[in-house]
Amino acid sequence: MTIMKSIYYVFLAFVVFSSCKEKAKTEIKTETIAFTKEGELQVFRSESDSLLVYLDIEIAETEYETQTGLMYRESMEERQAMLFIFPNVAMHSFYMKNTQFPLDILFIDEHLTIASIQKNAQPLDESGLSSGVPVKYVLEINAGLSDKWQLQVGDSISYTRK
């Protein structure tokens, strides 16, 4: 009977360890964060007031939203952007930690004028990208679009909430 008990315990241990091994292989899936249109934004040429581009925007203004931004997202469509709205005018620095696609970052002053542009910020890079001047807003768009749309310092924006 002790041999049967020993075999039983060995079999039981095998079953327990086998089931643990199977559970360890289980992959944890995270939900994709979808773009949520919260407003619309237009960019105008400074000298002529001509419309350069029209965008759907997601707005980040709470502390959590501004710290998270576009992190953990796989992409964004060409005519989508994230507008960060800060409570005060200040120097701001952004980084690309946990951001999976390259961005152009437009720093915008309290008069809704583009004050500086950081082009082609690389995914997952934790280097600080400074506004260089005090700003109230930041607009993130897909990398390369500031060149494609010929955006420049001095151009202005206007936006509306949905």
Q: Tens of pLDDT along 115-149? A: 999 999 999 999 999 999 999 999 999 999 999 99
Distance CA 121, CA 7 (A): 62
Residue 130 in contact with residue 73, Cβ under 8 Å? no
8's enclosing H/E stretch is helix 2-24
Q: pLDDT digits over 61-89, tens only?
A: 999 999 999 999 999 999 999 999 999 99
Phi, psi of 18 (to 5 degrees): -65, -40
The average pLDDT across 158-162 equals 96
Residue of 151, 119, 153, 128 whose CA lies nearest to 42: 151
More confident residue, 27 or 97: 97
Domains and CATH numbers, the chain: 39-161 (2.60.120.1140)
Quote the mean pLDDT of the chain: 88
118's enclosing H/E stretch is strand 114-121
SS3 label, residue 141: strand
For residue 6, name the pLDDT band (cuts at 50, 70, 90): low
For residue 96, name the pLDDT band (cuts at 50, 70, 90): very high
